[in-house]
Chains A and B, each alone.
Chain A
Amino acid sequence: MMILFYLTILVLLILFCLFLDGYILNLQDERELLKKELAAKTEAAAPLIAISAALESCKHQTEIADNLLSGYLIKTDHLKAIKTSASPGLQINYLAIDAEGKVTLRGYGPNLQSAVHYAIKLQELPFIGKAELTTADLNEESSCFFSIRADLQQAVGGAVTDQ
């Protein structure tokens, strides 16, 4: 009776082991199939991943360029406007703009009024924050030597289109 009991347990165990073995083999086969599917999908998606990376890189470049150009101050148009704002007869012989956008202008004109008028015209330019006449000296020869200080504001609209 005992032997029969042990034999039954043994048979059940063997069956259980066979079942587990088969189940593991089945899972391994499934895994292999999934691996093949993954390889095919990886291959199919590779060009799209490259496109995605290129788009991301472009976005990154755009961000950097826009960020740098948002602080771009010294533009040809600005320089031209600064010079053409001077009334006829007024000569500019020094123009400097530093990294912070501080403008220094020096020159001479026929009278004090022309120098003051120039500072006011500069102040009216959209990219000038503040312009003030720092010195204006009228000499014996009726020449007025002036010095103007102004602040350039951030370029409106950026300069991406220019470069």
Chain B
Amino acid sequence: MARMAWFKKERKPRTSERVKLEIPADAWEKCDECGHIDIKERFVRALNVCPNCGHHRRISAQEYIDFLVDEGSWHELDAGLKSVDPLKFESYPERLKLAVKKAGPLEAIRTGYARLHGMPVDLGVMDFNFMGGSMGSVVGEKIARLARRSIDKRIPLIIVSASGGARMQEGVLSLMQMAKTSGVLAEQAFWGIPFVSILTNPTTGGVSASYAMQGDVILAEPGAVIGFAGPRVIKQTIGQDLPAGFQTAEFLLEHGMVDAVVPRSELRDTTAQLLRHMAGRRPAEAAD
């Protein structure tokens, strides 16, 4: 109904007839949040943030890598790690195949090293398109290896999270990845190596209850849903609708659970700024 009304409204002026003929249909994009229609190029240039309402669309791991680190500095790590089916879980292999088709063969997280404002960094970026960014053994192993590299080379760690939580199809093995990653990150913290955690939409379940919330600094993209239990589960438990804005990045900021809500366009510079602050030079050394 609403959509019908909207079409009528737009059609009335009938001014863009000529333009429509010249611009191919796929040149236009519509914001899922506010319905704003704009040239695709404007969405792309704004890193897939709606030019009208600021809604942050979900983007792929590759897109985060492209705008977060210095051009040409990305080196992929552990690209050969692949999931197996340890529980012989019904239709897991088929789902994995579908995920590879949809998001590529690099699993629900991509890890690598790069430079950010010239500083060496280790970066992990989760990909929600790969089985909802679910954390299985491969995600745990990739993060553990990345954090290990960060310890060995004394390089700061950045993890961009996007995940519904642990991967059900790997049972308790996936649950234990929470403990596994926490173990390495505890050692990383011991050595005083900075870890910036960036939360995107959504970050829930076992991922939010482990490394995503263990950053020295935790940043969140505007509007991202962040929490332990998913909104549907909570709704079921309490038997009523959730208050507006519940479990959004802004809600977490208000309750003291994240350091800052940072628009996508500022993530790169803010992270670099933070890493410079946390470079760990003692006052005496700084004076040299």
A, B assembled together: no
Which A residues are closer than 8 A to B by beta carbons? none
